């Protein structure tokens, strides 16, 4: 009811502005698109089922590159792997800016590695990549951390004795502990109440960001930000998480040994101290808090959500789970932990994991980009600052690259001989200069967690496979799988 009143006020305000201003001014020679109303933009062309459905319908009329006005703001949409690659890779520098997500803009304000731009972003990304490598990313030690966490997961699942459970927080806990070991220098007990509170905040926040209310907020940010709504709860949740990070940073300051940094926060504080006399240094307190928040949230939510979707799919298709079990038994056996070297010998399991990522389509609209300079693209002109949405869903669900994309089918990633085959349209981590900076660690986690759990357990659902619904509970900026129950039953007879 509250949302309906706000929308009505927005429409009335927009009509008044329409009468007062006339039509919106042109923004360069942008790609074609539906004619916008002042203030309201293309609300009349928006589908009630959400922004993605709207964009896909408009693609049918205007092609792979078109312009949509989200409220008064023009945004260029890129659909299909060719258009996305031409922009994000072939003109990588021009398209390397980060656009705004209205529901989190108040939290970050352009700070932190994900939402920064310009020199700030380049410095923070370079530092984050090198530091995460130093503390395990890309080295064998991160594999060992994931294996150790896998042991903890197996122990925790054995305690359930096959009882049905919602796996959300278990998957959150194990993925969060990997990024925590790198950022905070420690892992947390699954029963730690503060840790569980943080994970609950992550889950609720990602669900809110992905909700229909947040999509409406994206359309009318300049107006709706003054009213109650999901954006205020998102901000409140983020403030609680940031308080936890602030406390962790203060503890790190007290114990810091500049000659022996233990984790990401230590390394950042040492760098900040070296540059404290530089008034233009980007290594300040706010960038630290926002970067840690970005890494903590992204490193937890994305992988855990993918695993959550993956195991729901395994419940839906037990014949696929059976083939994965068979390959695990043949290559790894029952007595040793899976290792990254096993992946090359397990093409079917690897194809299943690829297909889980493609099918779950975690960020269907992709994170918004922004052109960093006046840019010519496919005969059009985008002024500096124009926002761009690379619609990742359009690549991951393209029938030219994936036969019957609406169906879950590991054969999308297998050749005629059963070997894993590369598919250029597989871009769940996006591409170009803004490609997910945690891609490497996420791929390790998905393989090791997935195979270790299925090495030790069979999975069953209280619902018949044919009745399991894979429809996401939310689909906006992100896709959130439905809540479900699952039983992990030991395959070892214990």
Strands 479-480 and 474-475 come out as: antiparallel
Letter string b/e over residues 425-463, b meaning 16 or more CB atoms within 10 A of that residue's CB: bbbbbbbbbbebbbebbbbbbbbbbbbbbbbbbbbbbee
Strands 73-79 and 387-391 come out as: parallel
Question: In angstroms, rounded to a whole number, what is the distance separating the alpha carbons of residues 392 and 354?
Answer: 15
Q: What are the residues whose beta carbons fall under 8 Å from the beta carbon of 155, sequence distance 6 or more?
A: none
Q: Is 152 annotated as a binding residue?
A: no
Question: In angstroms, rounded to a whole number, what is the distance separating the alpha carbons of residues 283 and 254?
Answer: 18
Within 13 A of 347's CA, how many CA atoms are on the CB side?
12
Question: In angstroms, rounded to a whole number, what is the distance separating the alpha carbons of residues 452 and 440?
Answer: 18
DSSP secondary structure of 189-249: -TT-HHHHHHHHHHHHHHHHHTSHHHHHHHHSHHHHTTS-SHHHHHHHHHHHHHHHHHHHH
CA angle 97, 100, 106 (to 5 degrees): 130
CB-CB contact of 312 with 468 (8 Å): yes
CB-CB contact of 411 with 405 (8 Å): no
In the annotated binding site, the residues are: 436
In the annotated binding site for heme, the residues are: 436
């Amino acid at each position: 009811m509250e949302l309906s009143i706000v929308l009505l006020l927005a429409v009335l305000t927009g009509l008044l502005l329409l009468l007062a201003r006339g039509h919106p001014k042109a923004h360069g020679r942008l790609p074609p698109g539906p004619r916008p109303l002042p203030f309201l933009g293309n609300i009349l062309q928006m589908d009630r089922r959400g922004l993605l459905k709207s964009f896909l319908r408009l693609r049918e009329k205007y092609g792979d590159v078109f312009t949509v006005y989200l409220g008064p703001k023009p945004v260029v949409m890129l659909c299909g792997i060719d258009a996305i690659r031409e922009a994000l890779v072939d003109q990588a520098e021009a398209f390397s800016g980060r656009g705004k997500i209205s529901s989190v803009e108040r939290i970050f304000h352009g700070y932190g590695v994900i939402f920064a731009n310009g020199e700030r972003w380049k410095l923070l990304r370079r530092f984050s990549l090198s530091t995460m490598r130093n503390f395990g990313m890309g080295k064998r030690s991160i594999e060992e951390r994931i294996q150790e966490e896998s042991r903890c997961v197996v122990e925790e699942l054995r305690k359930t004795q096959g009882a049905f459970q919602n796996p959300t927080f278990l998957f959150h806990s194990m993925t969060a502990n990997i990024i925590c070991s790198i950022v905070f220098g420690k892992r947390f007990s699954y029963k730690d109440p503060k840790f569980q509170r943080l994970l609950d905040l992550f889950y609720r926040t990602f669900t809110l960001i992905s909700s229909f209310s947040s999509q409406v907020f994206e359309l009318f940010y300049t107006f709706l930000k003054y009213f109650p709504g999901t954006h205020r709860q998102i901000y409140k949740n983020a403030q609680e998480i940031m308080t936890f990070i602030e406390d962790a940073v203060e503890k790190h300051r007290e114990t810091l040994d500049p000659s022996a940094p233990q984790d990401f926060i230590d390394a950042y504080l040492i760098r900040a101290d070296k540059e404290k006399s530089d008034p233009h240094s980007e290594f300040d307190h706010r960038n630290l808090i926002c970067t840690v928040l970005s890494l903590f949230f992204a490193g937890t939510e994305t992988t855990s959500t993918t695993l959550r979707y993956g195991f729901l799919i395994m419940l839906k298709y037990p014949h696929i789970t059976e083939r994965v079990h068979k390959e695990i038994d043949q290559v790894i056996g029952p007595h040793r932990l899976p290792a990254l070297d096993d992946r090359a010998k397990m093409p079917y399991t690897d194809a299943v994991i690829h297909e889980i990522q493609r099918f779950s389509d975690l960020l269907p609209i992709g994170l918004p980009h922004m052109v960093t300079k006046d840019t010519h693209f496919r005969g059009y002109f985008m002024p500096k600052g124009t926002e761009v949405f690379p619609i990742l869903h359009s690549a991951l669900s393209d029938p030219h690259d994936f036969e019957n994309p609406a169906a879950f089918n590991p054969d999308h990633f297998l050749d005629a001989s059963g070997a894993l085959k590369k598919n250029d349209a597989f871009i769940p981590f996006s591409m170009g200069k803004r490609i997910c900076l945690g891609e490497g660690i996420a791929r390790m986690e998905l393989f090791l967690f997935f195979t270790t759990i299925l090495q030790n357990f069979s999975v069953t659902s209280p619902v018949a496979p044919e009745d399991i619904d894979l429809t996401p509970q939310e689909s906006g900026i992100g896709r959130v799988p439905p809540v479900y129950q699952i039983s992990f039953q030991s395959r070892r007879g214990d």
